[in-house]
Structure 1
Amino acid sequence: MRALLLWAALIAPATAAEAPKTFADHTRSLAPQTGFIELWRDADKGRVLLSVRELGQPFLLTTSLPYALGSNDVGLDRAQAGEGKVVRFQKFGNRLFLVQENTRFVARSADADERNAVAESFAGAVLWSGDILASEGARHLVDFSSFLLADQHGVVQRLADTKQGAYRIDERRSAVLPAEAKAFPDNIELEALLTFAGPGSGEYVRQVAADPASLSMRQHISMVRLPDNGYQPRRYHPFSGGIDTAYYDFATPLASSLDVRWQIRHRLEKGGKPIVYYLDRGAPEPVRSALLEGARWWSAAFEKAGYKDGFRVELMPEGADPADVRYNVITWVHRATRGWSYGNAITDPRTGQIIRGAVTLGSQRVRQDILIAEALLAPYGKTAAVERRKLAEQMALARLRQLSAHEVGHTLGFAHNFAASRHGNGSVMDYPHPVLKLGADGGIDLQDAYGVGVGAWDEYLVKYVYGDFGSGEAEANALAKLRSDARAAGLQYVSDNDARAQGAAHPNGLLWDFGPDALKTWDQLGAIRRRALDNFSFDVLPDERQVGELEARLVPVYLLQRYQGEAVARLLAGGEYESATSADIRAGRAAAGVKTTPAATQRAAIARLAETLRAEYLALPAGLLDQLSPPAAGFDRNKEYFGTRMSAVFDALSAAETGAAQTAGFLFDASRLNRLYWQHARDAAMPGTGEIIDAALASTWKRNSVPGKLGGGEAVQLAANWVVLDALLQVVDGGKLHTNVDADLRQQLRSLAGWLKANPGKGTTAASRAQAADHVLRYLADPRSVKLRALPTIPPGAPI
């Protein structure tokens, strides 16, 4: 008995130590934050504890980057919103799992077995698991730090995709930030400092990081209660102009589509809370006022739709956390180079209800607008210098107002409409080119370069997406009438899928164009380009800028017609068509099929584009050439310059090759050539591929001698000739042509080789013609024996 008592005494302390700890044991001295999920901030141990009560209850999880990389090319921007995921906590044994639902495949059915059958058919994902520290009834305490310290935003993948190398999180140089953890009734906000270790050899990380082998950023996590059932979703329609969210619903009737699409939109009810956006306090003046003004343009459209004071834009309250998912935020983002701006919406994937709007505005875009304005106005000379500089800044701020309205529009649920420019200031959801004119004095006029306020299409968008029309048949009829009225008013809708490709067919779905007539605007811009080149001098460059920057300012002037050139090319085998449903066609609200561009218009387009391949268009004035200087000591060329094969000095041949490559890319796009072939096959009166190639060759290889007064004209022409030949061989070699189109082009090339041999020319022209004929014949005989040249890299134009 004495031995048993002694044994009991020896093991008693160990037994007590192994007793389960309670909530109070783990949270002693920590103040709870009550909210959607109760949390404790443990600053001493660098962790965040969560009390999870509602197991199995879905909620929304999303990420953002309060501190980011600063590289437009990588695309990890400050305040960048991540993907929204529907998740839930589940308990297995003594561990909690965070499970992501597969919201792309569902069964919206009252039958639980039917719902389960779909859920069991498609894989979900376990995003995290952790040990339960303590349980009290339905409450379970977990340390959520390991989730916060993992790459939830996808930084590592993004770095790999942009070829910056293989990075990983260095846990010893990463930390949970308990002080940033906050709990609110419908959301909690959590944050961590993450350090990504990697090779540090990537071009883009070397441009921006303090140490490219050690990238420190912050990851913000928002966990949000899903909205209640009071929201009324709206069916997406292809002519709505809106953005949709979609899933496959296996509970739909057999004759119905599985593909269910809802319009994304904020919850807005008459007499209810307005939609409020907050502008980043980091935006300086006069930028701040321009951004506020532009974003507020939407207020008028909401008022017309019946929502007085339904939309507001304010400056972010001082001290507020812009990463807090409760705020719709317009963020002024800095990067090392100019780049795109974005408007993202975090939505409830079940209904399309917008939870949060997140706008990212790149700060360097406005500087590009000023650069273009200064390159056109030459405001640093002796004539009207102050007035011209002021006009350049006014143009840039006008563009900022439009940009602010545009990106906010995306977060309201509105898609691009690239056909709106056919109606002047038809929509802020188009990409606007500055409207340029020649004044009565022959000078370039930028006075009304950008529109003011939202357009007719924007007012339609707000009415269609947010208008209150009741429900059921009443709503469907009201929306159908809105669509019919919009079409009757001449409004067209062409968005990204039908506009962005180089060989896109719709002649009105154009980025960065202006005016109702593509050919007329082409001519207008051509006169402005010639005027700007003839007067181009150091008067376009501020006093303190290094001399090499003159060349960088030449680029947007030399390529001034780049987007209107695409508009002209879109006329070739182009055709108008509508986004509609079969009900719209049967009811006569929309037309079926494709309305082909008339032959005469197509031939006028061919003539204009062919002219851009001639030395007279591509050669620069002698006076301009004589002013161009290499970059000053300490400065280098970058992607905003033309390429050069002449070391430090300006390469006029590379500039000409760039201009020719732009036109050749439009003319010899495979999808465009396929359409040209087919339209001619159906109707011999329409242009075909042969007509396009004949026009290009007549302006290049087969043209008569270049006028002697054009200094260096023959060399410039030969440079363009080779680009045209390279582009033709590239499209034949690309494998995207129909076989019969490919055969036609090969015969055209064979004929060209014969013509070049029969017409050898003289001097340097003779040398190029002989080599070109040999090059073509060797390729046609054995493509593998010939290394094709890539077309020149064109300096970036967009975003402007």
Structure 2
Amino acid sequence: MLKRLFFVSTLLFLFSTTDALAQRKKKDSKKTTTTTTTTPADAKKPDVKKPKPYNKVIDSTAITQKGLIDVHKVGDKYLFEVADSLLGKEIMSITRYSKTPAGGGIFGGEEVNRQVIKFEKGIGDNILLRSVTYVITTPNEDSPITKAVENSSADPIIGNFDVMAYNKDGKNIKGYVFDVTPLFDADLQAFSLDPIRKQLLNITAFQKDKSFIQTMKSFPVNTEIRSVKTFSTKPPQITPTPTPRIGTNFPSGLDAGVVTFELNTSLILLPQKPMRKRAFDKRVGYFANGYSVFEENSLKAERDVFAVRWRLEPKNDEDAEKQKRGELIEPKKPLVYYIDPATPDKWKPYIKAGIDDWQEAFEFAGWKNAIRGEYWPENDPTMSLEDARFSVLRYFAADIQNAYGPNVHDPRTGEILESHIGWYHNIMSLLRDWYLIQTAAVDPQARTIKFNDKLMGELIRFVAAHEVGHTLGLRHNMGASHATPVEMLRDKEFQKQFGHTSSIMDYARFNYVAQPEDGVTDLFPKIGDYDKWAIRWGYAYFPDAKDEKEEKALLNTMTKEAYKDKRLHFGTETSPFDPRFQTEDLGDNAMKASEYGIKNLKRILPQLITWSKEDGEDYSELDGLYNSLTGQFRRYMGHVTKNVGGIYEDPKTADMEGDLYEVVPSSIQKEAVAFLNEQLFKTPVWLLDQNILNKIKPESGVEAMKSLQGGTLNSLFSGDRLIRLIETSSLNKKNYTVDELFSDIRKGVFSELRINAPIDVYRRNLQKLFVNNLIEALDNDGKKTAMGLNRRPVKYSETDIPSIARGQLTELKNQLKLGAASSTDRLSKFHLADLVSKIDTALNPR
């Protein structure tokens, strides 16, 4: 068909050409010999829009707002007047949702897009808008290598505007006026949703006729643009078979075929005097930014990595001297966090208290009144919740159980410019569940599904303080709770003074270790010793340090001294193999802490029906609490399991003693497996309270128990863990081995064989899972791989894992044969014989 169409179109072209030639010949034959010569000067010039006089463009009808960028509204057009002094200056652009369609999991106040932009003069009467990305740089602009850096980092042009008028002072140009209406009433990615977001939200074509600019406002350091954007939506696909579905369909999109967003874009001038960078240090938990630096005399590109933090400076030299003498001083610009007026009034004081709690940490760094929470002022037209000049805790009407604390920072230096904390309504439901399941054994206030306002307010205060910590630049410190010995978690006086973790930035929710007889009443995390030290590290002012290098040396001395105290250590949230750095755990020994935790769960479980009961309501609350309790038990198993194949990781510098990595002692790993054998693999039938299960589930718990036990068993057999055991056991014969792991688990899982006892359904399921894992480790097809410590895949067939698995299966098969022969329980005999057959097939595949 394509060839035929091409042939027909070719014929049409030939016919039309022949006809045109014939017509031309007829006309030519009538021409006289007189000819006219056409010169380039006579040719029609392209229609170029030339700038007009300023008062012809910005006339008496223009509505003008002065600010970072002067904004003129002329008719239905919005014009920017960019000062000549602003050209080339870097501006942070931050776009947030102001209003969103319901049901998509996104909410007004959340960030959509952020990037650095700059305006520059084009080659004619035009202004270019570029997006700036910091990837590589050079510190010396006069160096020849600067040209190489420039050639490798061209910034994309995202806007090209004809200058409509120049604002001149005599012959000097003061400003450039151009129309930005097409920039903000269109779907330019820099100020709208990116393609991935659109895909996830099932958004398709931009609806130009239903989109417009709502307002533009300008202020001394920022310009705010509010726009309305409408998109068509992708209808859900109907298929005869279930298929995975990517994205979310808005209910309004299903009804109307389109969805509408309100977006607010803040343009903020980046600081003209960049803040001094503070070199990132792995020993202190700060978020970081960085880029590659090319220097003339360096042998390779270096990574300049620096901490993300606010700028705190003294008001004057006199205050700086006072601070050096040990006096507390107020910063030139304190940190102010506003509370969304949409927040329920009864929770506002607790959120403010959570913000103000950080004052103590800043005092440790030499500042007073450095941070405070404030209520959003009413009826102030100069303020907007989306305005990036203001840091705000935004309250979302959402059923998500979460809160988060982001920040917007200068990519050149890491200086935090503002933060919008996100607070979802249902975080309170999560707090209720956590606190009830973890502390109801010792706190009578927790023994109900509806907490009193004071208790819930204090829970909210704790979460607010945690999220504010993130906006100050602090990462999670998952190792903080490990600094507290388990028995100290039961000490009333110790808990009153220090709490159960040294950092509120840990995920150490509440003290689940304390027993009813201990009398511990301080069960909440609070700003701890590590938090104070971390704020001091990030915000101490060093006026005598001439540059970043001298400041880094001073900080290094401070950090080495701090590292002598375990309560001041940082434990990364990203370590996959250090058992000290875990979420939701407490104490310096997971086995002891979890044993205390299980004792409390056993006290709480029988009371769940009473504590969740409401007349006229179903058992959904009971169902949720039971799932929370079993989830807590599952977490305890995970805390213990991470010790197996564990490696301690302590970030150190070359001027500190000791190694960075240390293998978890064999005794601790064996203790962990023994705990799992006792608390999990010996069926925890106490979890299967039929009085509860009969009210919330149709099953009796057989499959649920198999899932619970199987999850931990599969984790113990995971290839990554086994590879680590092979690596670490090669260093020292005393280190725990894969063979010991398999043997220790086998003794616990098949303990009935030693005493010829009947094997119930739970244990039969567990034993099948164990055998299946060993058979998987045989790697009969040679395709199984695992991730090594170098983050590269390792083939099982090239390790000892299949060999050990074969030896273990052979020994187990012999034990099973004897057990089957001597067993007097019918189902046990069938089960053992089946396992023998399964192992035979695996060892001798046909």
Give the TM-score range, shorter chain.
0.7 to 0.9
What's the offset of the Cα at 1:279?
Answer: 1.5
Among candidates 451, 455, 462, match of residue 528 of structure 2? 455
SS in 1 for 2:95: strand
Equivalent in 701, 716, 719 of residue 762 of structure 2: 716
1:519 aligns with 2:591: yes
Return closer, same or farther for 1:355/1:755 CA change in 2, 3 Å cut-off. Answer: same
- What are the equivalent positions in structure 2 for 1:417-436 lying under 5 Å apart? 417-422=477-482, 423=484, 424-436=500-512
**Amino acid across the alignment from 2:563:** R
- Going from structure 1 to structure 2, the CA distance change for 1:770 and 1:191 (only over 3 Å counts) comes to farther
The residue type equivalent to 1:282 in the other structure is: A
Whole-angstrom distance in 1 between the partners of 2:102 and 2:297:
49
- Aligned: 1:747 with 2:802: no
Q: Distance in 1 between matches of 2:472 and 2:433?
A: 31
Question: Which residue does the alignment assign to 1:573?
Answer: 645
On the 8 A contact 2:351/2:461 being kept in 1, the answer is: yes
One of 683, 689, 693 as aligned partner of 1:616: 683
Contact 1:656 1:719 in 2 (8 A): no
Change in CA separation of 1:755 and 1:476 when aligned onto 2, cut-off 3 Å: same
CA contact (8 A) 1:86 1:103 kept: no
Q: Aligned match of 2:398 in 324, 328, 335?
A: 335
Q: Which residue of 1 aligns with 2:190?
A: 152
What is the Cα-based RMSD across aligned positions, in Å? Answer: 3.7
Which residue pairs with 2:701 in the alignment?
A: 652
Q: 1:763 deviation in Å?
A: 4.8
Correspondence for 2:147: 116
- Maintained 8 Å contact 2:221/2:269: yes
Contact 1:83/1:346, CA 8 A, preserved across alignment: no
| Amino acid paired to 1:192 | S
User: Is the Cα contact below 8 Å between 1:571 and 1:601 reproduced in 2?
Assistant: yes
Q: Deviations over 1:137-170 (max 9, x none)?
A: 54333332333232436745344665x5463433
Give the distance between the partners of 2:101 and 2:814, measured in 1 at CA: 56
Partner of 2:318: none
Residue 492 of structure 1: aligned partner = 569
Moved more, 317-326 or 83-92: 83-92
Deviations 1:165-198 (CA, angstroms, capped at 9, x unpaired): 46343323322212xx211111111121222322
- 1:696-749, CA deviations, whole angstroms, 9 ceiling, x for partnerless residues? 34444664599999xxx9333344445555666677665116431442464267
Amino acid at match of 1:529: L
In structure 1, the residue matched to 2:666 is 599
Partner of 2:581: 509
> Deviation of residue 563 (structure 1)?
2.9
**Aligned pairs (5 A) from 1:14-163:** 21-28=52-59, 29-41=61-73, 45=76, 47-53=77-83, 54-68=86-100, 76-82=106-112, 84-90=114-120, 91-111=122-142, 113-136=144-167, 138=173, 139-148=175-184, 149-150=186-187, 151-152=189-190, 155-159=193-197, 162=200
* Equivalent position amino acid for 2:609 in 1: S
1:464 matched residue in structure 2: 537
Residue identity opposite 1:78 in structure 2: G
| Residue 7 of structure 2: aligned partner | none
1:313 maps to 2:400: no
**C-alpha distance in 2 between matches for 1:93 and 1:651:** 79
Give 2:474's match in structure 1, choosing from 414, 418, 427: 414
**455-464 or 685-694, which moves further after superposition?**
685-694
Determine the C-alpha separation between the residues in 1 that align with 2:211 and 2:63. 24
- Asked if 2 retains the 8 angstrom alpha-carbon contact of 1:749 and 1:776, the reply is no
Corresponding position: 1:401 with 2:461: yes
1:221 positional shift: 1.3
1:214-253 deviation digits (Å, cap 9, x = unpaired): 3332222111111022632222222232222101111264
Residues 54-63 or 768-777, more deviating: 768-777
1:172 pairs with 2:218: no
Deviates more, 1:284-293 or 1:770-779: 770-779
User: Match of 1:522, SS?
Assistant: helix
For residue 451 of structure 1, report the CA deviation from its aligned partner: 2.4
Amino acid at match of 2:66: T
Q: Structure 2 stretches of 5 or more lacking a match? A: 1-45, 237-244, 316-331, 485-499, 788-793
Q: Is the 8 A contact 2:503 2:525 kept in 1?
A: no
Contact 1:376–1:540 (Cα < 8 Å) also in 2: no
| Deviation sequence 1:55-75 (CA, Å, 0-9, x none) | 33322222222224667xx76
C-alpha contact 1:295 1:405 (8 A) present in aligned 2: yes
**What is the CA-CA distance between 1:376 and the residue it aligns to?**
6.9
Query: Cα deviation per residue 1:535-594 (whole Å; 9 max; x = unaligned)?
Result: 442532444542244222211112223333332222223232322332x33xx4xx3232
CA distance in 2, matches of 1:508, 1:192: 48
Q: Of 617, 622, 628, which residue of structure 1 is paired with 2:695?
A: 628
Aligned residue type for 1:316: W
CA contact (8 A) 1:70 1:334 kept: no
Provide the identity percentage: 19
Partner-residue secondary structure (3-state), 2:405 = strand
Change in Cα spacing, 1:726 to 1:99, as seen in structure 2 (3 Å) is: farther
TM-score, structure 1 normalization: 0.81
Per mean C-alpha deviation after superposition, the further-off stretch among 566-575 and 153-162 is 153-162
Q: Which one-letter code corresponds to 2:217 in the other structure?
A: K
- How far apart, in 2, do the equivalents of 1:112 and 1:70 lie? 54
For the Cα contact (< 8 Å) 2:224–2:387, is it kept in 1?
yes
State the TM-score, normalized to the length of structure 2: 0.77
Letter in 2 for 1:609: L
Partner amino acid for 2:579?
P
Rounded Cα–Cα distance in structure 2 between residues aligned with 1:78 and 1:777: 62
In structure 2, the residue matched to 1:642 is none
Query: Aligned partners of 1:62, 1:548: CA distance in 2, in Å?
Result: 42
Contact 1:330–1:361 under 8 Å retained in 2: yes
> Taking structure 1 as reference, are residues 705 and 161 closer, same or farther at Cα in structure 2, changes over 3 Å only?
farther
Q: Distance in 1 between matches of 2:56 and 2:832?
A: 88
Counterpart of 2:726? 677
Displacement after TM superposition at 1:367 (Å):
0.8
Query: For the residues of structure 1 that align with 2:756 and 2:439, how far apart are their CA atoms?
Result: 30
In structure 2, C-alpha distance between the alignment counterparts of 1:264 and 1:437, rounded to whole Å: 35
My pick for the range that moved more, 413-422 or 548-557, is 548-557
Residues 1:482 and 2:563 are matched in the alignment:
no
CA separation in 1, counterparts of 2:163 and 2:831?
A: 77
The 3-state SS of whatever aligns with 1:560 is helix
AA at the equivalent of 1:315:
Y
| Secondary structure of the structure 2 residue equivalent to 1:224 | strand
Q: 1:487 to 1:83 in 2, by over 3 A?
A: farther
Partners of 2:833 and 2:304 lie apart in 1 by 61
Asked whether 1:736 is paired with 2:786, we answer yes
- 2:320 alignment counterpart: none
Distance 2:764 2:249 in 1: 39
How far did 1:767 drift? 5.6
Are residues 1:344 and 2:406 paired?
Answer: yes
User: Paired residue for 1:281, among 330, 338, 341?
Assistant: 341
Q: d(CA) in 1 for partners of 2:128 and 2:447?
A: 65
Q: Judging changes above 3 Å, is the alpha-carbon distance between structure 1 residues 460 and 697 closer, same or farther for their aligned structure 2 residues?
A: same
In the other structure, the counterpart of 2:248 is 205
Partners of 1:196 and 1:777 lie apart in 2 by: 62
Q: Which has the higher contact order (CA 8 A, sep 6+)?
A: 1
1:530 aligns with 2:602: yes
User: SS state of the match for residue 602, structure 1?
Assistant: helix
* Kept after mapping to 2: 8 A contact 1:167/1:198: yes
- CA-CA distance at 1:600 after TM superposition: 1.4
Checking the alignment, whether the CA contact within 8 Å between 1:660 and 1:724 is kept in structure 2 is no
Distance in 1, matches of 2:550 and 2:696, equals: 68
In structure 1, the gaps of 5 or more residues are: 1-14, 499-503, 631-648, 786-800
Q: Secondary structure at the match of 2:508?
A: coil
1:313-333 superposed Cα distances (whole Å, 9 cap, x missing partner): 111222431111111122222
Is 2:394 aligned against 1:326? no
Equivalent residues in 2 for 1:357-372, closer than 5 Å: 357-372=419-434
